[in-house]
Structure 1
């Protein structure tokens, strides 16, 4: 436990409440302490830990207690009177919870390596999860890379008694949630209230706070609101990744606009000569799995800079886009519902904002979007375009053994089938990738004794942003309209920017130029440790396209090579069978 809140400094875990016969251990930050203190009859001060609030909530509400909590938490309570163990994980899955269950023992931890330190736990590869690692997207929320080691999914609790495990989903986003207010101003006022609260409760810290600043809407909005809330003479410490060699990846212009607005001391890291494989063994040890993102070494170095500044809490703008909504499928929805005057107006404004041809926008987002999926898949294969369901890096034998196509199909359909913007928005919010990213970032930051926090994934804010009408999310050709309208003092160049830049060109070049020898040693090795997952001839063809950048090259080729290298090196280093 990192002890990042004032209340946690006094905390000793596990804690036993002799009067109730309850014992708790937890990793938690509870954000609704004030309201809970009234309901539970306990004081809200720095001497009362968040885990004590959880314990008393369980004492009052039993297994329904997670429904009453707000914040990021994972906990286990031993109820001596009932002889049961009750465990739960927060609504969004920010805090991890792993466990191992056999006929003889039940073990749990927030890190997998703690479980592997015990002789009872097998050290064996989960081939299905390793196979999913090689697929562009997957939505596995229960299994891990290790056979028989499982996780509690987000918004789930379980009770363990008499050698039986009872799992319950205590919350889910209601797909039919709708909110209608009287005016645009009412929506803006409510959003400001919720967003300010989401930021403010994540500023509760006993140590220095840092802020990731990418120059995008999400991180810039968090920094802007935080400046107003903290209102300190000392500048906020922000941390940014920049590129001096790739203008198409560099966000310095927008970051400097934030710095020029005042109250910020930004710390830059130039990433142009950082290899995606730098510190790979060390990072993999902390992550307990292969690396998912080719830019993870950038963040490793950035977190080192934060550690040198004594940062212990980090506010991130992670995937505010999914919460705020880019309003994907909105044009398709207007087209299908024959709201053509509105469609024409929005497409024209959208095209002007993004400097796009309105006819191409109409063709791609309206006409082509209603073509049946099987036809589009055949066309993609004819044009050799990588599709979501194409298991390029899974050999046929593995695909057949694990039945990957059938397992993957439900997830694939969830992203392809929606006909409305709201349906698609729902899919983006509830996808299991968020839970995975939170776990991933939790372990990466913990290597530097930091706790990441995510204001956009506050349960109250998520429900509000999902429930509001499409017109509040997309208007006058602008997506994410709610935050554009609501955040005052945000530089106009950021508030009304249409695109964000990414570091993909940097990682794509650096992997090839800085790690050519490593790549070719693995791909052209006589004995392939990876051939149980990947056909060696297939990966050679993919690598040839990546290296030559010929007409058949796709960005997915670089991603395929990256995943091959990281999986192979992880299997070799971990000696996992």
Structure 2
């Protein structure tokens, strides 16, 4: 709406209410600088018939996907890989580096995909293709330049910007609702919607019963729904994952080890019964330090104060004998401790890559010679390079920058978009308004990770008078899945079939 008014003031006249028409007029006014004028989620292509050139762009954070294929004869682009693979002459060939990236991190880091010649256009990137060749540039990036201000001032700025971001995302001509996991981020979105005077808020939650209740937060979601008087919809499921998994993996276009995509699909399907647009709390952890791995730099400094002999004799020996099964919160904590020790002797960037990796030292032991050589070369090294190149002076902000550029985009946002779009549901993410990202980058790291273990400190403070104390203080969980039990039960036949020696050799 703001761009429309600005363009009208410049003399442009509109025939429709379409966002697409705004893009066309915006290109007429600002040319290739159009992407930097936008705020929201987008990928677009504009063909300039006069100058015979094509402009492609992807939004600031990478909320919407964009893939590009190039060979000697064809240039093609799409929001889905499978659409590109339908083009005559385009062959589906495995990209070994993409596969190694998936095995190392549990997703395929950009710009690679699982297919040769098909690459991801990275966030905040624009391309101009014409008879003179191709030009690529980044039109935005976040700079981590902490400013010294009172905590209360940061909280006030954050609340004001969150309200403005949610207000912008509420613009819709169709029914709109919100995911509500019962966690801090989704509760913050619902609280803000209520504060903005949204008369009817539809919220959606999913959970599990019995032995899988560890993964459920339905009681917390109920608390928030009752507090703000939402029209709350929830389901308790035991899905037929043996049938569902192959279907959803096809929709993903590429493999991912974060099985939250199953729950995202199920709750999206529930929401689509009554709304067409959904607000999600994705992004808060990467902006305000919500992951336990962000304890790493402080733990590393503490660990290095212990004499080397004592480390080997007592600390490492004790930790390496801890159970690491995911069956309880305590064992999950033990697993983090083991993971920390496995990476403690590495340099900063490699240590970070170890924190976020699925397989690290074990990977080379199970690969063929060709793939082991790729892995030994570091590759892909896209994740560690973002840590090294981060525009930040401290380890915490470097970690968050790398997360913002890698796992957030190539895993979390990717499956959120694809699972919601599978049921024709548009998922919007107000916390990833680029202005909130810039604000978070200016907040000193000690206000994000307060003391030793105080994750998301400033975000919690900003919401302290808007949400119940139990929601503010709770441990992070979100839309999790009972994947360990699924692999032992429903998915076991599928797993054994996929890992059968004959199939692996093929």
Q: Is the 8 A contact 1:276 1:507 kept in 2?
A: no
**TM-score, scaled to structure 1:** 0.71
Q: Is the 8 A contact 1:238 1:264 kept in 2?
A: no
Q: Is the alpha carbon distance of 1:241 and 1:204 closer, same or farther for their aligned partners in structure 2, counting shifts above 3 Å?
A: farther
Q: Is the 8 A contact 2:460 2:472 kept in 1?
A: yes
Bigger RCO (CA 8 Å, 6+ sep): 2
Following the alignment from structure 2 to structure 1, what is the Cα–Cα distance between the partners of residues 285 and 187? 13
Q: Is the 8 A contact 1:208 1:312 kept in 2?
A: yes
Correspondent of 2:148 among 163, 180, 191 = 180
Aligned residue for 1:61, secondary structure, equals helix
Corresponding residue of 1:397 = 369
Q: Is the 8 A contact 2:300 2:344 kept in 1?
A: no
Alignment of structure 1 residues 482-501 onto 2, 5 Å: 482-487=458-463, 488-500=465-477
Following the alignment from structure 1 to structure 2, what is the Cα–Cα distance between the partners of residues 387 and 436? 16
Structure showing greater Rg: 1
Number of residues of Structure 1 aligned to a counterpart in Structure 2: 466
Q: CA deviation at 1:264?
A: 1.5
Corresponding residue of 2:85 = 116
* Structure 2 residue 89 is the aligned partner of structure 1 residue 157: no
Q: CA deviation at 1:252?
A: 2.5
* Structure 2 residue 250 is the aligned partner of structure 1 residue 285: yes
Corresponding residue of 1:12 = none
* Structure 2 residue 360 is the aligned partner of structure 1 residue 388: yes
Q: Is the alpha carbon distance of 1:449 and 1:294 closer, same or farther for their aligned partners in structure 2, counting shifts above 3 Å?
A: same
Corresponding residue of 1:76 = 45
* Structure 2 residue 429 is the aligned partner of structure 1 residue 454: yes
Aligned residue for 2:146, secondary structure, equals coil
Q: Is the 8 A contact 1:332 1:420 kept in 2?
A: no
Following the alignment from structure 1 to structure 2, what is the Cα–Cα distance between the partners of residues 99 and 410? 18
Q: Is the 8 A contact 2:114 2:254 kept in 1?
A: yes
* Structure 2 residue 261 is the aligned partner of structure 1 residue 296: yes
Q: Is the alpha carbon distance of 1:40 and 1:280 closer, same or farther for their aligned partners in structure 2, counting shifts above 3 Å?
A: farther
Q: Deviations over 1:537-558 (max 9, x none)?
A: xxxxxxxxxxxxxxxxxxxxxx
Q: CA deviation at 1:211?
A: 1.4
Q: Is the 8 A contact 1:275 1:515 kept in 2?
A: no
Alignment of structure 1 residues 386-425 onto 2, 5 Å: 388-391=360-363, 394-400=366-372, 402-403=374-375, 405-409=377-381, 411-412=383-384, 420-425=395-400
Following the alignment from structure 2 to structure 1, what is the Cα–Cα distance between the partners of residues 499 and 273? 38
Aligned residue for 2:243, secondary structure, equals coil
Following the alignment from structure 2 to structure 1, what is the Cα–Cα distance between the partners of residues 412 and 175? 24
Q: CA deviation at 1:508?
A: 0.7
Q: Deviations over 1:279-314 (max 9, x none)?
A: 2332233222335433433333322222222x2111
Aligned residue for 1:72, secondary structure, equals coil
Following the alignment from structure 1 to structure 2, what is the Cα–Cα distance between the partners of residues 253 and 62? 51
Q: Is the alpha carbon distance of 1:456 and 1:388 closer, same or farther for their aligned partners in structure 2, counting shifts above 3 Å?
A: farther
The farther-off stretch of 460-469 and 407-416 is 407-416
Structure 2: which 5+ residue stretches go unaligned?
306-328
* Structure 2 residue 473 is the aligned partner of structure 1 residue 509: no
* Structure 2 residue 346 is the aligned partner of structure 1 residue 373: yes
The farther-off stretch of 125-134 and 446-455 is 125-134
Q: Is the alpha carbon distance of 1:71 and 1:35 closer, same or farther for their aligned partners in structure 2, counting shifts above 3 Å?
A: farther
Correspondent of 2:449 among 455, 458, 474 = 474
Q: Is the 8 A contact 1:242 1:250 kept in 2?
A: yes
Aligned residue for 1:466, secondary structure, equals helix
Correspondent of 2:104 among 120, 135, 142 = 135
Following the alignment from structure 2 to structure 1, what is the Cα–Cα distance between the partners of residues 84 and 498? 31
* Structure 2 residue 70 is the aligned partner of structure 1 residue 101: yes
Q: CA deviation at 1:105?
A: 2.7
Q: CA deviation at 1:71?
A: 0.9
